Amino acid sequence: MLAAFIIAYLVITILIGRWAARRVRSAADFMVAGRSLPLGMSACVIFATWFGSETMLGSTSEFAQHGLIGVMEDPFGASLCLLLVGLFYARKLYRSNLLTFCDFFRQRFGHRSELISALLMVPSYFGWIAAQIVAMGIVINTVMGVDTHVAMIASGVIVMGYTYMGGMWSVSVTDFIQTIMIIAGLVIITFSVVGDAGGIQQVIERAPAGTFRFFPESGFQPWLHYLAAWFTIGLGSIPQQDVFQRLVSSKSEKVAQRSSYLGALMYLVIGSMPLLIVLCAQQLYPALTDAGTEKILPNMVLQHSNLFIQILFFGALLSAIMSTTSGAILAPATVLAENIVRPFFTNITDAQFLRVVRLSVVGVAAVSIVMAMGSQNIYELVASSSVLSLVSLFVPLTAGLYWKRASEAGAVASIVLGTAGYLLAEWAETETPTLFIGLGCSVAGMLLGTMLRPDRSLQP
């Protein structure tokens, strides 16, 4: 019965994506849903940006081992990112009336920075998408017994299929429905499990010592690593195409800003529920940890829950992963088509460009599926794409918005030096978190490049 539900859910998702695709009349419809999403849908779309395998499986595993101190990156860092986007970036970026984040680099700094930022951004998504495909394959294998590789290929093709058909419209409509499923499923499961464990007060009292410790031990290095966990997504995901694309799909700049605030609140509240569920599971069924902390939640549901709870949990889990994957495929495909391919075809029509974007969706998905087949370690895949945007693109984006004198030379130097400094620090295995070294080099590059080669239009 559970397997039948999973199959029905996947079929319904494809049909919904196909229905949403009827709204696509132009490339702008495909890429940013015609900039027409209302507040409720926009908030759900922004919330779904990263609410996937890391939140449902990775963060719960870290929480089971280390408590709150182990999950600063997700959900806390992700919530911080959406809050900062609403406070400082949403209105300015929405007013730009652009299709991609790299378009902003072209408009503000020039074509060189556009191309460099695009060449960095597109491959940074492959590991993240592959991690979601691996997670979907594991879920389908666990529930249906299908070979993991076959399940990964099938799930990747399904998400690619409805993204190919409707672009941001399909992503938005499916995200909205999937977010409702996520919230409903997690709320019901949380209340059920907390009740079985004797109530929230008993759960908190029985928690191991240090479970709710929010700050690190005293000392310079512990605090540096603590801040690095906050910054990885909290700052690093601000200059990313998936955030930008979901943001500018809103129907107004006011909706874009409010959606960011609502998305941040939703992410913090809903993202905390799997942590509470796994804490209850550890107390109710301590033997579950023998199979590994990453499997505590799915094994608890399969072994100790009725069919209704199983349907809710795996429906919520698949919804979370699929909503993240679809947007993550569309983002680099849009950048690839708009900022790398399109400049070579100056007289391309809108219909031809739409075809290029759709083919880019296929290409990005295909590369990600191949990566997923080659590595089934979710942490390894996510780690390959988590910090690069922070050390390369965060500084030039922020300077471009808030520092009038920032020049093209400064932007290029910031991207190049930030990336080089980070990679060198990774190779040297420095004690200081490598993202801080990369970020420092990025700031230095912006300052030096702007001083040595200022924007001539600003000269007296």
pLDDT tens digits, 361-391: 999 999 999 988 876 555 555 555 668 889 9
How many other C-beta atoms can be found within 10 angstroms of the C-beta atom of residue 93?
A: 22
Fold exhibited by the domain 2-379? Sodium/glucose cotransporter (1.20.1730)
Q: Is the pLDDT of residue 449 over 90?
A: yes
pLDDT value at residue 273: 93
More confident call, 202 vs 145 = 202
Pairwise pLDDT comparison (456 vs 102), residue with the higher score:
102
pLDDT score of 381: 54
DSSP line for 229-298: HHHHHHTTTTT-HHHHHHHHTBSSHHHHHHHHHHHHHHHHHHHHHHHHHHHHHHHH-GGGGGG-GGGHHH
Q: Say whether pLDDT at 290 is over 80.
A: no
**CA max distance for the chain:** 74
What pLDDT is stored for residue 312 in this prediction?
Answer: 83
User: Is 233's pLDDT higher than 90?
Assistant: no
7, 362, 31: which is closest to 170 by C-alpha?
31
Res. 358: pLDDT tops 90: yes
Mean pLDDT of 281-291: 86
Whole-number pLDDT of residue 460? 41
Residues 85 and 243: beta-carbon distance below 8 Å: yes
pLDDT at 377: 55
Please state the rounded mean pLDDT for residues 55-67.
Answer: 86
In this prediction, residue 447 has a pLDDT band, given cuts at 50, 70 and 90, of very high
Closest by CA to 243, choosing from 330, 365, 317, is 330
Whether pLDDT at 2 is above 70 = yes
Comparing 73 with 83, the larger pLDDT belongs to: 83
String of DSSP letters for 136-184: HHHHHHHHH---HHHHHHHHHHHHHHHHHHHHHHHHHHHHHHHHHHHHH
Q: How many CB atoms lie within 10 A of CB 347?
A: 5
Kindly state the average pLDDT of the residues 277-303.
85
Please check the confidence at residue 459 and state whether its pLDDT lies above 70.
no
Q: How confident is the model at residue 39 (pLDDT cuts 50, 70, 90)?
A: very high
| Percentage of the chain modeled with pLDDT above 70 | 96
User: Kindly report the CA angle at 47 between 354 and 42, in degrees rounded to 5?
Assistant: 55
Tell me: cis bond preceding 75? Omega within 30 of 0 counts: yes
Other CB atoms within 10 A of residue 292 CB: 11
Q: How many CB atoms lie within 10 A of CB 369?
A: 21
Domain spans of the chain?
Answer: 2-379, 387-460
User: Mapping DSSP to helix (H, G, I), strand (E, B) and coil, where does residue 4 land?
Assistant: helix
pLDDT value, residue 264: 95
Q: Is residue 338 very low, low, confident or very high in pLDDT (cuts 50, 70, 90)?
A: very high
Average pLDDT of every residue of the chain: 89
Helix axes 148-196, 350-374, angle to 10 degrees: 80
Cα–Cα distance for residue pair 289/301, rounded to 1 Å: 14
Interval 35-41 mean pLDDT: 93
Lowest mean pLDDT across 11-15, 404-408, 439-443: 11-15
255-283 pLDDT, tens per residue? 999 999 999 999 999 999 999 999 999 99
